[in-house]
Every structure is written in C-alpha cells, then in structure tokens.
Structure 1
Amino acid sequence: MSQDATRSLAKQLDARLAAPGAMDAARFEAFLEAQRRLGLVHGARPLCRHLRPYLIAEQDLAAIARAAEEIASALERVAQRAIRDDSLAEQVGLSADERALAAIRPGAGPFHTVGRLDMLVADGGFSFIEYNADSPAGITDQLLIEQTLMALPHLAPLRGGQGLRTPAPHRALLGALREGYAAWGGREARPTIAIVDWAAVDTSAELKVLADLFSAEGHRTWIVDPDELAYDGRRLSAGGERIDLVCRRVITQELVERRGLDHPLILAYRDRAAYVANSFQTKALNKKAAFAALSDPEFSGLFSPAQRAAIAEHVPWTRVVSAGRTAWRGREVDLVELLLREQERFVLKPNDDYGGKGVLLGWKTPPDVWREAVRCAADQRSIAQERSRSRTARLPTFRDGNVEEEEVYFDLCPFVFTRRVEASIDTFVPRMDGAMVRLSASEVSNVSAGGGVTGLVIVDGARAPRERARHV
C-alpha cells in the first residue's frame, strides 16, 4: 500500500504536536470531556485517546472499497442461499428460530442495508475476517472525532486542507434507509424513525447521536426499547406514535431469546406494517461461519469470478470446526489434527458472539487450553480461521504529563451500505463509505474489550499539504 504522502503528513502533524504548548494535561482532559459530552464513548469511557487520525492514500482506500464491495456481495449470496438451502443453513449455524425469521419475506427493497467488515492491514495487503450485519456500531465515530480530535490545534492542517477529505458514513446510513424505505413501498416523504435497542446498552450514546442527526434532516426520530413497542395488527407504535421505519440495532439472537418470535417488532415486520433495516433475513451474514462458505471450494459456484478473486486474495482460510477431513493448502487433512499440530497458525472463534468474546489466538494460548478448546469446538460450533498477521502503528498519546508514541494494533473496518444503482430504478448494490478505525494494545482490537478508535483522513498524494512543521 502506498504510504509516502501519508508518512510525510504524519511527520508534519507529530512535529506540531511536539512543539511547546501544543498539548498539556488541561487540554487533554478537555479533549476527553468533549467526547463524554458529545457521546464518543463506550459506556462512560472516552473512545479516542490517541492524537492523530489514521491517514490513508486515496488509491489504497479505493482498492479496499473494491474488495469490500465484492466480499459483501458474496456474503449476501451466502445468506440468500441459506434461506432456501437447509444444508447451508446448518453449515452456517442458523437456529430453528433464525431460520423461521429469515424465511419471512419483508417486501421489496435491499436484502440488507448496512454492514461493517472487520479488516486487518498487513504489510503489502489486507484481509477481511468478519462481517457485522446484525447491529453494526461505530457509524457516528468519524463525525464525533472531527468535532473533538480534529479540533485540536496541532491538527489544523487537516481542516479543509487541499488534497484531504473525510468520509461521512452517518449520511450514507440515512441515505440507505430512505432508499430502502421507498423501494419497500413507503409513502412518507419524511418517515418517522425508531432506533430500536435495549435501553441499557453500552452504545446508547451513539444511538442518541444518530437520533439527533435524523431529526435534523426532518425525521421524527426517537430511541425505543423493544419493550416499548406495540403492534395492533395495523401499525407499529411506541408511546402512541406511529413508526414508519425501524433502524434496528437490537441483536436478533437477543431479541428472540428474551422475547420470542411473537414480539411486536417481528409481527409488524412479518405483516409489512413497518420497514425494518436491517431485515431479519440478514442473520446468516453475521455468522462467522459465513466466511467458511466463502473460502470452502464446495461453495465456489455461488460466486462470480470477481467475487472469487476477492475471496482468494482477501479472505483467510476459514472452516467450521468438526471431525473429518478438509482441504488446506492444496491437500486433504484431518481438521482437528491440523488445528492441534499447527496451533500457532490459527484463531478459534465462537460462531455467533460479538465484542471479541471467546476468541482464542493460537499463538498466545497455552497448549493445554488450546487442546481443550479444539476438543469442545465442534459441540460449540466454533470457527477456525488462519492467522492474518496485522500491522501495528505508532500513534501519539498523552500520558503522565507528556506526549508519548505508543505502538498499537489497528483494524480498519469498512462500512458497506446497500444503495440504488440509479435514482429511478430499484436495483441495489453494496457501496463502501467510510470506516471505523479501531486501536488496541492487544491483537483483538475490539471496543467492547477495551479498545479505542481514531478518525480516518483520506490523502490525495498529489495534492496533500506539504508545508513545513510550525509551532502552534
């Protein structure tokens, strides 16, 4: 990946930060407090503690976008096939309730509206390792980082600088919701929107930001706990107010386990009384076993030549753990024996959890713990994925009264929105728009597991700022 322009700009920004008076304890605390006030938090914890955004060259982002869109399209094919193919549904790990939900046809419109790919950057390339299509978080991070981190004095060259731009995934989300609602048959020019999730979730601050953004664009919007929803057979409502469009953030598995299939949201979805995005058809997209379908030659006929090429280059070898033989590096091997013999090459993951819970890195796990995990993996429907060696980055932070460089692992997690090809026709395709940049001291870079975030700035190398570093 090309880095000359981004490295030059990063050096300039770090030199400005190192200048006398550029950062002190009071300014850093004000920076954290601004995050708390605006909602750039997980629970009560400010999410951005590093003092430079991630800089990426325009051409590198374009390469990522092309690959991300092909992989999202391929995963959608897996999910659509799993709805009508019991063997693939079993392979992916859909429960009976999830199959029943996925079989409901919610009407016209895109199959899914928004997803977030988790991507590792390595020297010379990148790999997609998971897809979050049930309740993808982080869409407002970029906006809030531009209001907090990017407002710091040492980052002045990034504000409106020639050859620089920042993405706006929150706007892409609203655009995708509007287009999907219209294609579904919605008639309201400004539909009412309910953002539905449990009241006590750690991402509630993000939901408030989204509600404010949607309201500012003319939509009556409010955040609704699933228990506040009512359905009378004609309309979905909360507190007596009709809901036209549901931006669903409640996780399918949690909703069904806690409230069952006769919940008002599910009944209104079944009867097409409200547009729900993402639909309940997308659950298979969110299963980590969908990546096993991508990389298993048995399913290659599902995909287009462009999708197969993207899979071959950017998806690590992945399998559902079970007794028996499988193809690995051009030969047939016993899967369990392979995982035990080549422990340091693999990651074990639960098929249907989130927040980094239950992930075991073979190269960091004691052998006895690994053996037991592999032994139990088949019963727990775990996924084995070949290791993708992620790059680290050195980013400045403020600690003990000083600016320090810290080496961190980072994920670049592209957001993919299903958008109309043309305004006049209801043909939808995945389009990448922005990304969540996660930072962590460990190789499991997850906000729920204590990680943080920073912003994304896209650099056109031919036009980027080249001024000398100056004192602030």
Structure 2
Amino acid sequence: MSRDATSSLAAQIDARLSAPGAMDAARFASFLGGQQRLGLTHGGRALCRHLRPYLIAEHDYAAVARAAERIAAALERVARRALVDAALAEELGLSADERALAALDPGEGPFLTVGRLDMLVTEGGFSFIEYNADSPAGITDQLLIEETLMALPHLAPLRRGRGVRAPAPHRALLCALREGYAAWGGREARPTIAIVDWKTAATSAEFNVLADLFSAEGHRALILDPDELELDGGRLSAGGERIDLVYRRVITQELVGRRGLDHPLVRAYRDRAAYVANSFRTKPLNKKAAFAVLSAPEFADLFSPEQRAAIAEHIPWTRRVRSGRTSWRGRDVDLLELIGAEQESFVLKPNDDYGGKGVLLGWQTPPDAWRAAVRDAEAQRAIVQERSRARTARMPTFRDGGVAEEEVYFDLCPFVFAGRMEGAMVRLSASAVSNVSAGGGVTGLLIVDDPRLKREDNRHV
C-alpha cells in the first residue's frame, strides 16, 4: 500500500510517544488493565500491546474494499452453486451433515450477514488467503481500541483532528442484522437478540460488549449457551423469554458435532421460528477449498469479469492436494511432486479448521515433516496455497522500562457485512501465522485522507 500518505503521521505519533513522560510502566500497565476491564481480551489476555494504530490511506482503503467485496461476491457464487451441484459440494469437502444443513431454506435475507477475509499486505499488493464466514470474531476490537489505545496522551489529539477517521464495524454489524431480520419477514421494531456460543468460548468478552451495544440501541440482548435454547410450539426461547433474532457465534461443526441436527437452534432455523445469522448455508464459504475453486481455471466461468480480475490480482494460487497434474506458473506439473520439490513456495492448510491450527509454512517446516504432511494431505482433503510474502512493520511497544520498536508480521482482515466492507481486524504477531487464538495481538485501524493523492488512483498496496 502507499506509504506516502501515512508515513508523516506515523512519524508524528512516534515523536509524541518518545517525548518525556508520554509512556512509563504505570501508564502501560493501566493501558493493559483498561483492556481487561472493557473486554479487549482473548482467553483473559489483553490483546493490544503495541502503541500505534495501523494507518491506511483513504484511496488504499477504497481499493481494499472494492477487491474484498468482489471476492466475497465470488465466494458467494461458489456457495450457491454448491447447494445444487453435488460435484462442487464434494470438491469443497462438505460432509453429509453440512450438506443437510445447507439444504434447509432459511427464507429471505442476505446469504452471508457477516464475514471476515484474512488479507496479507505484500510488497507488490495484497492477497486474500482465507474467509471466516462461520463465526468471525474481532468486530468490537476497533471500538475498544478507541477507548483504550486512542485515549493515550500521544494519540488523543487524533480523536479531535481532521483528516483521519476510524471505521465502525460494530455498527455495521447491527445494521446488517436488522436489515436481514426485516428482509426475512421479522416484524418487531427492536427484536430480541440472542448471542449464542458455548459458555467456555474464548471470545466471550466480545459478547458482553456487543450485548451492551445492542441494548443501547433499544434491543433486549441475551448471551446464551446453545444448551439454554428451547423450541416449543414454534417459539424459540430461553428461560421463558422469546428470541426473535439469533446472532450465531457457535461454530457449525462444533454445534452439529456435539449436539446433532436435532438441536433446538437447528430446528428453529428450519422452521423459521427465529432469524439466524449467519445462516447454516454459509459453510461452503468457510472451506479453504473454496479458494482452490476461485484459483483453478476450470471454474472460471462461475465468475463475472470483474470478479475474475480481482481473483487474478488478489487470490494466491491454491489447489486441493491430490494426485494428478495441474498448472503452475504457466507449466504443466505433477501436483504432489511440485509441492515436495518447491517446499519453500507453499503453505499446507486443513480444509476446515480455524485459529491457525494445522497450518504448515513450507519455509519454516523441517523437510521430513513436510514430506510426511504432503503424504497425508490428500486423505485429509488439505489444500496447498502459494506463499504470499507478507510485509512486516515496525511497531512501538513498551518493554524493559521504555518504548521500543518491534518488527512484527501483520495482516489486515476486512469485515464484509451483507456484501459491504466496513473496517478490518488488524492482527500483529511475532510469527508469520498472525492468529489471535495462536497468541497474536491486535491494533486499531485509522483511515488517513491525503488530498494530494487522487481517490481514483489504483496504485494500491
């Protein structure tokens, strides 16, 4: 992405941070403690330890939004086709239970209410590498960072200044939920919303923040374990209280794996006793094999010209691992031989997992372990993706009694709400796998307006 529009502001922030008294051990401890109180945590761990938000130029943000929305629309085409095309459902690796769920018609409303694309910023552009379309977390991070990080003395002036703005994905979420509920046929002006996930979920702090937000906007908001739900007489409820809208955060495979297809949430969804978002039709989007469908030339006719252009520019070469030949960089190759011979060029991923679990980076994996993983990959329906060389950033933090810079990997993960992008989760990590559940952290996102740059300029990232 263009650095000209943001480097001057970053230098100003760092200069203020380096001024005497701007940061000390007590202030940093208070900063972390504020996150604990507000819920900017994962499994009890404060998530933001770096002292500058990620700065993005307005024209770069617009370019990411255009690409993200086109890729999300292309992935929706894949999912819709998989509902009626058994061969494509098999290609994606949908289980029998997942196909049965996807076959249930939830009624009107967006196909996907909220998704999060994982995006790497590279020296030459940006690449989308995964899609969390089942239960994306991190939507409230921006809100809480504005109340903690942006309240620090070296950043507080930005909250009053011109030329910068912060996105509001938490508000876009509520808007998408309301619009989906109305399109589905919901009649309540302020429907009762249940946020549903296991009580043991590591993201439970986020649910409290969302419940407070929904309540402030006039909704009755409940945080419920799936086992608290009841369906009786066509009415979904918990403890005798009716539920109109379910914001589903429980992961599909966990719900079905633990409780089966006869669970009250599944039956309420089937019987249209409540509006459920995300729907259970989104599972094909969450399969990493969907990126192999985007990437492989035999599926190109599924997509519009604009979508094909976005795929060519922003989706790395991806294939389902199996015996046979394929194309790579203009060559006809044996896929398994290629993966073995060009180990440092590839990433192996399980088709259906999250939090970075099971991901193998070829350039960091011992050769024996890589060969063993390649041997097992076909049976496990794994996918292989060409390496995107992610850019790193130097970000200030506080350690050993003073402000210090750290070289970190980062990714920018745009949220897409009913087809429209608003905001992004910014993840930072010492590891090339920047998942929060794998120990990574987050920072905020600020959009910088630079009038010297033409908004229509497409020289992004």
- Aligned residue in 2 for 1:359: 359
Distance 2:43 2:215 in 1: 23
The C-alpha deviation readout for 1:64-99, integer Å capped at 9, x for no partner, is 000000000000000011111111101101000000
- Aligned residue in 1 for 2:99: 99
The C-alpha deviation readout for 1:431-450, integer Å capped at 9, x for no partner, is 10000000000100000000
The answer to whether the aligner puts 1:447 opposite 2:436 as a matched pair is: yes
Instruction: Report deviation, 1:160.
Output: 2.4
Contact 1:326 1:334 in 2 (8 A): yes
- Aligned residue in 2 for 1:374: 374
Written as runs of structure 1 = structure 2, the 5 A alignment for 1:48-197 is 48-197=48-197
- Aligned residue in 2 for 1:22: 22
TM-score by length of 2: 0.97
- Aligned residue in 2 for 1:433: 422
TM-score by length of 1: 0.95
- Aligned residue in 2 for 1:457: 446
State the Cα RMSD in Å.
Answer: 0.9
Aligned letter for 1:342? E
Written as runs of structure 1 = structure 2, the 5 A alignment for 1:370-409 is 370-409=370-409
The C-alpha deviation readout for 1:405-454, integer Å capped at 9, x for no partner, is 00000000000001xxxxxxxxxxx1100000000001000000000000
Instruction: Report deviation, 1:327.
Output: 1.7
Distance 2:151 2:367 in 1: 48
- Aligned residue in 2 for 1:468: none
Unaligned stretches of 5+ residues in structure 2: 454-461
Q: Stretches of 4+ moved more than 6 A in 1?
A: none
Contact 1:94 1:284 in 2 (8 A): yes
- Aligned residue in 1 for 2:346: 346
Distance 1:127 1:267 in 2: 38
Deviates more, 1:113-122 or 1:320-329: 320-329
The C-alpha deviation readout for 1:222-270, integer Å capped at 9, x for no partner, is 1000000000141100111000000000000000000000000000100
Distance 1:122 1:233 in 2: 54
3-state SS of paired residue (1:311): helix
Contact 1:163 1:462 in 2 (8 A): no
Q: Identical aligned pairs, as a percentage? A: 80
Aligned letter for 2:356? G
Aligned letter for 2:161? G
Instruction: Report deviation, 1:328.
Output: 1.4
3-state SS of paired residue (1:154): coil
Contact 1:162 1:463 in 2 (8 A): no
3-state SS of paired residue (1:153): coil
Distance 1:364 1:305 in 2: 37
- Aligned residue in 2 for 1:301: 301
Distance 2:109 2:23 in 1: 49
The C-alpha deviation readout for 1:365-403, integer Å capped at 9, x for no partner, is 000000000000011111100000000000000001110
The C-alpha deviation readout for 1:341-384, integer Å capped at 9, x for no partner, is 11000000001000000000001100000000000001111110
Aligned letter for 1:295? S
Alignment length (residue pairs) = 453
3-state SS of paired residue (1:59): helix
Unaligned stretches of 5+ residues in structure 1: 419-429, 465-472
Distance 1:168 1:310 in 2: 25
Distance 2:367 2:417 in 1: 41
Instruction: Report deviation, 1:332.
Output: 1.9
Distance 1:325 1:229 in 2: 49
3-state SS of paired residue (1:94): coil
3-state SS of paired residue (2:183): helix
Distance 1:119 1:5 in 2: 21
Instruction: Report deviation, 1:463.
Output: 8.5
